Amino acid sequence: MPAFREGPVRVRVPASSANLGPAFDYAGLALAMYDDLEAEVVDGADLSINVVGESADRVPLDRRHMVVRTIDDTFRAIGLQPPDGLRLLARNTIPHGRGLGSSAAAIAAGLVLARELLVDGNDVLPDEKLFDLGTEMEGHPDNISASLFGGFTLSWVDGSHAQHVSLLVHESIQPVVVLPGGTLPTKKARAMLPTQVPHADAAFNAGRAALLVRAMTEQPELLFAATDDRLHQQQRRSAMPESLQIVDALRSAGIPAAVSGAGPSVLVFATSESAPLVAALAGQGNTTLHLQVAYDGVLESVTI
């Protein structure tokens, strides 16, 4: 039976954007906005959770906390009883409920913390096992693959196992995120989607998702066409009208933009020429963040 490591372990996990327009539940992009977490098993102690930063006053401080729940579930998955004495410190910067992968980041962090808390954890929880567990917990692999592995990821489930590839983003692409007011729970956003779509729309998105790979990696001039979508964005307009107005304004100016994940944030695929224009086109009252692609996922950001 695996033993617990003495002393604290630390991880840094990036935010992520999913879908990237047409590649619904398939594409993810890790963004250089991070949560930093530290965990330690303390014999004879009770659970202790300290959260600072984003949503510190809104997350539960008991075993319902998503990182703690993930650690517990990961231990149970390998037949290990979760320890009562667990200390967690979370320094959060990823906004919650804004379409930037906060839940996937918490799950990815919890998975890797669980592994690092074990002596010889890499043997019982290799990367592939963590990805399978994370996909099961999250329900789809797009955000979790980006948070775990970093970069531009394409992911899918093959039988009972999650798979992914990581690709380099063309150097001219500068991700910009626009955050309108309010939040939108992913569960609510997904509930708005129809159970069936027209064949023509499915074919359209399949073609644009294939084009997206070429545009992101080799020909960014194709991104405007490659980020078009017919399956999920317009269907959720009533839940996030401000987001779709921002997408419309940017795309009317010829700038590739899409709803980030389930929204309401908007991901802009800017260049050095277009990035300075984004804030003005997005309108007043919205926060604009100029970010970079995070090529180190949480698996590469472990320090002990």
- Which pLDDT tens digit goes with each residue over 4-23? 999 999 999 999 999 999 99
**According to the model, what pLDDT value does residue 190 have?**
79
Is residue 304 predicted with pLDDT exceeding 70? no
CB atoms near residue 276 (< 10 Å) = 11
Residues with Cβ within 8 Å of residue 105, at least 6 apart in sequence: 13, 14, 15, 16, 35, 94, 143, 147, 298
Mean pLDDT of the chain: 95
Residue 34's Cβ-count burial label (10 Å; 0-12, 13-18, 19+) is buried
**According to the model, what pLDDT value does residue 181 have?**
80
Is residue 124 predicted with pLDDT exceeding 80? yes
Is residue 3 predicted with pLDDT exceeding 80? yes
Cβ atoms of 39 and 8 closer than 8 Å: yes
**According to the model, what pLDDT value does residue 183 have?**
73
- Give the predicted TM-score (pTM) of the model: 0.95
With CA atoms as reference, report the closest residue to 240 among 208, 256, 262: 262
Is residue 303 predicted with pLDDT exceeding 70? no
Give mean pLDDT, residues 66-82. 97
Q: How far apart are CA 246 and CA 281, in angstroms?
A: 7
More confident residue, 269 or 299: 269
- Band of pLDDT at residue 186, cut at 50, 70 and 90: confident
Is residue 95 predicted with pLDDT exceeding 90? yes
Q: What's CA 220's distance to the chain center, in Å?
A: 22
Give mean pLDDT, residues 193-198. 89
pLDDT digits (tens, 9 = 90+) for 154-172: 999 998 899 999 999 999 9
Is residue 145 predicted with pLDDT exceeding 90? yes
pLDDT digits (tens, 9 = 90+) for 197-232: 999 999 999 999 999 999 999 999 999 999 999 999
Q: Cα-Cα-Cα-Cα dihedral of 227, 231, 233, 238, to 10°?
A: 160
DSSP string for the chain: ---BPSS-EEEEEEEEEE-TTT-TTTEEEEEEEEEEEEEEE-TT---EEEEEETTTTTS-SSTTSHHHHHHHHHHHHTT-PPPS-EEEEEEE-SPTTSSS-HHHHHHHHHHHHHHHTBTTHHHHS-HHHHHHHHHHHHSSSHHHHHHHH-SEEEEEEETTEEEEEEEPPPTT-EEEEEE-SS---HHHHHHTS-S---HHHHHHHHHHHHHHHHHHHT-GGGHHHHT--SSSTGGGGGG-HHHHHHHHHHHHTT--EEE-TTSSSEEEEE-TTTGGGHHHHH-TT-EEEE--B----GGG-EE-
Report percent pLDDT > 70 for the chain.
99
Residue 130 β-bridge partners: none
Cβ atoms of 54 and 39 closer than 8 Å: no
Give mean pLDDT, residues 273-281. 96
Q: Which domains does the chain have, with CATH numbers?
A: 9-168+293-303 (3.30.230.10), 174-290 (3.30.70.890)
Give mean pLDDT, residues 72-77. 98
Give mean pLDDT, residues 107-118. 98
